[in-house]
Structure 1
Amino acid sequence: MSACRRFGVVVVLMVVALLGPAGAGIPDPAIYRWGKLEVPEDYDRPDGRQIEIYWEKLTSTNPRPQALVLINGGPGGTHESFHKYNAQGGLERDYFHSLRDEFEIYLFDQRGNGQSSRLSFKTLSQVDGRLYGTVNICRDLEELRRRVIGQEKIAVLGESYGGMVALSYAIYFPDSVSRLVLHDTSPSFRYFTNLYQNFSNSLADLDAREFPGIRQNFRKSLRRFAEGTVTTPGNVTLTPNDFLSKCLPFTYSFRGLTVLARMVQDIAETGQSKVLNGILAAEVAPRPPARDDAPETGPSPTLLIIQASEMYDPETIAQLEGVPAYDPWNLAWAKEKMFRLRGEFRREAGLEGVPRYDMLPRLHEVRAPTLIIVGACDFVCPPVYARQMQRGIGNGCQLLVVDQAAHGAFDEQQDYTVGAIRAFLLPGRHYADLCPPPRVNGPAAAKALRHRDVLDAYIEGTRRLQGLLGPR
């Protein structure tokens, strides 16, 4: 089975099994508008094949609103990451609903994803994957601004990979951006090739700041897995690298990191963990076989297209061989769980030669006033990248580091983070002082974990992880 097909089958089954069916929804149809915009698949051939870009608009209560576009993360994700769901799966008010008194808020599904013309792993060989990268997503956004929004300038907020799109858009189309918010993101492909370093460095920082002993407990747990002294349901066998991958969903929120601290402590001390056992039991539970004609769900192939072409760089990876070893995530883990599949896919899909995503040399070209937001505990795009962007953009670029937040501050610390975004987007307005939420005692919270906390953290982390590692 090809790398393309193998990745598609595994990721679809994994996401469906863990999250259940995901249906598109509108929080309140009375105050939303939606539609589809036709754009060229290939902008160099504008009269050729057309594809559709799905968009939504949260209408404003202001008769003369400004426009704010939210760009979701991924790659391979959808606009629904900005919709807020309750524990029962129902829709609540969106995270940025409070901004509708001044803004029309636009969301869209990036080309190849969601309700836009979606790519399929089954027919991927018929598509030129090079047309589904960051540059053309920026062109789609410019068409949305010009033909749907109809305003000369728009405020743009991007989170995670969406922040990479937002940064690129502000550089490619500087006259179209009034204000720019970059949330938990990176200016370069190096965040991906250095992901194992980011995770290990972030764990060391977490040990020093929040959970004393978590790093040592990780080391003890990994030794137990290497020795085969960890008790698991059904005698499931996990290698140390398997276990490191199982931990990743818990790194996406501070609540998840609290769960992670408890899990590795239990394994280090007793050789077993109720958290890990619950995850493994859910994964091995019998499920109905997937039908061949069933529609694909889960992340779109654009996840792999963009990672393999714009983020995966063989030359940079080769240079990592001489870098001192990192602990516990290391180069051997990255090669096994990340790089191998992307290298295979890159060759099979003919993606060699696609320019890497690297805006570091062009940061000074950002002209719009910019706010950068990052969680202090972000493992994926840690604060070092935010500071790098702030220095490169200059020109009064603002930086907000959100305490006790990981890769999603607008979700974890919603009132504080959205309040800061409002204050930035509407300069000159007077608001009450923004007070950071009270700090949580991490070790105490780890002791008092509920089953619901564990489940919510794992589901949310898995939803946001979107198959980052491919087959596990």
Structure 2
Amino acid sequence: MRARIRDTEIYFDIEGLGLVKQGARLRSQPAVFLIHGGPGADHTSYKPSFSPLSQKMQLIYFDHRGQGRSARGDRETYTLENNVEDLEALRQYLGLDRIVVLGSSYGGMVALSYAVRYPQHVSHLIVIATVASYRFLKRAQENLAAWGTPAQQQIAQRLWDGTFENEEQLREYFQVMAPMYSLTYDPNSDRSAWDETILSPDAINVAFGGFLRSYDVLDRLHTIQAPTLVIGGRHDWICPPEFSEEIAKAIPNADLRIFENSGHSIRADEPEALRDAIAGFLVYKS
């Protein structure tokens, strides 16, 4: 499905019912916006990891502008600011009031920024393997220097510089770096999922070569009042767990969970435990 919003067209998909029969009554299920990472990837890596949650909530997937199946446009518009405003426009387009905002990695940065700007429309906030400021870049480079192979260190320079020339180079980056992102990565079983992902080098170049170098919402997180769950992976190289701890400390009454057997891709390393944590949090905090 596609929504013409603001100055672009956003692809979205919905899994699960908004209303379910409970005895003689209809019960509303929470609407959860799942914000994908990258930037430069798409929403498909969230399927089927999060699909079982659709039995308890309505899942709304979408691709950021210029990424996945959403419309391409001027690369200079591929910004965090526009990703936040596109999310708000999509909420309005779907006629929803208060929503659950769930973002992982870069999607978590969008989620935090949205919750700061539109707190009245956030019923719950869930951020996974993410950060609140640009300071993660230096720490990630230090971790890669300590843990990565020479090939991984070399190919990651394209990430730090924002110089991917085409989709093939970006796909090669994710293939070489896959063992750094997931502790359970299996090249024989996991590669097909990446083959289905639509990649956008322009989006990741604009982010890492530009706005992520000054991104910082840490000093505004104290304004978030929605029940918040912060999840980190103990072995995450690019968004290390100390940044999850920092976020949880800054948001009033936030819950913090560190997954001990996960890298950056918690949904790949501990998928069932991740789903249980999300479902349990939404039930307990509702």
- TM-score over 0.5 (shorter chain): yes
Letter in 2 for 1:137: N
Q: Does 1:197 align with 2:55?
A: no
Cα shift at 1:128? 5.8
Match of 1:359 in 2: 217
Match of 2:10 in 1: 53
Match of 2:83 in 1: 137
SS at match of 1:77: coil
Match of 1:251 in 2: 180
Cα shift at 1:249? 2.8
Letter in 1 for 2:82: N
Distance 1:72 1:241 in 2: 25
Q: Does 1:70 align with 2:70?
A: no
Asked if the contact 2:40–2:200 (Cα under 8 Å) also holds between the matched residues in 1, the reply is yes
Q: Deviations over 1:336-375 (max 9, x none)?
A: xxxxxxxxxxxxxxxxxxxx21111111111111111111
Distance 2:215 2:285 in 1: 35
Asked if the contact 2:33–2:100 (Cα under 8 Å) also holds between the matched residues in 1, the reply is yes
SS at match of 1:301: helix
Q: Does 1:98 align with 2:52?
A: yes
Taking only aligned residues, the RMSD between alpha carbons, in angstroms, comes to 2.5
Point out the structure with the larger strand share. 2
Distance 1:243 1:366 in 2: 37
Match of 1:36 in 2: 2
Cα shift at 1:197? 1.8
Match of 2:194 in 1: none
Match of 1:388 in 2: 246
Letter in 1 for 2:268: D
Letter in 2 for 1:147: Y
Asked if the contact 1:371–1:399 (Cα under 8 Å) also holds between the matched residues in 2, the reply is yes
Q: TM-score, normalization: structure 2?
A: 0.80
Q: Deviations over 1:43-99 (max 9, x none)?
A: xxxxxxxx101110002272522201100110111111111xxxxxxxxxx222222
Letter in 2 for 1:37: A
Asked if the contact 2:66–2:200 (Cα under 8 Å) also holds between the matched residues in 1, the reply is no
Provide the identity percentage. 31
Instruction: Select the structure of larger CA radius of gyration.
Output: 1
Match of 1:416 in 2: 273
The correspondence for 1:155, drawn from 84, 92, 100, is 100
SS at match of 2:44: helix
Match of 1:303 in 2: 204
The correspondence for 1:117, drawn from 51, 65, 71, is 71
Distance 2:239 2:228 in 1: 18
Distance 2:13 2:225 in 1: 27
Distance 1:241 1:98 in 2: 36
Distance 1:128 1:255 in 2: 34
Asked if the contact 1:179–1:370 (Cα under 8 Å) also holds between the matched residues in 2, the reply is yes
Letter in 2 for 1:179: H
Structure 1 pair 178–243 and aligned structure 2 pair: CA distance change class (3 A): closer
Q: Any unmatched runs of 5+ in structure 1?
A: 1-34, 42-50, 84-93, 120-126, 204-217, 223-237, 260-274, 276-296, 313-355, 430-472
Match of 1:4 in 2: none
Distance 2:219 2:279 in 1: 29
Asked if the contact 2:41–2:200 (Cα under 8 Å) also holds between the matched residues in 1, the reply is yes
Asked if the contact 1:112–1:300 (Cα under 8 Å) also holds between the matched residues in 2, the reply is no
Match of 2:193 in 1: none
Q: Deviations over 1:126-169 (max 9, x none)?
A: x360x221111111111111121x22100011000000000100
What is the 5 A alignment of 1:223-262?
A: 242=154, 248-256=177-185
Distance 1:369 1:243 in 2: 39
SS at match of 2:97: coil
SS at match of 1:170: helix
SS at match of 1:69: strand
Q: Does 1:402 align with 2:259?
A: yes
Cα shift at 1:411? 2.0
Structure 1 pair 154–196 and aligned structure 2 pair: CA distance change class (3 A): same
Q: TM-score, normalization: structure 1?
A: 0.50
Match of 2:119 in 1: 174
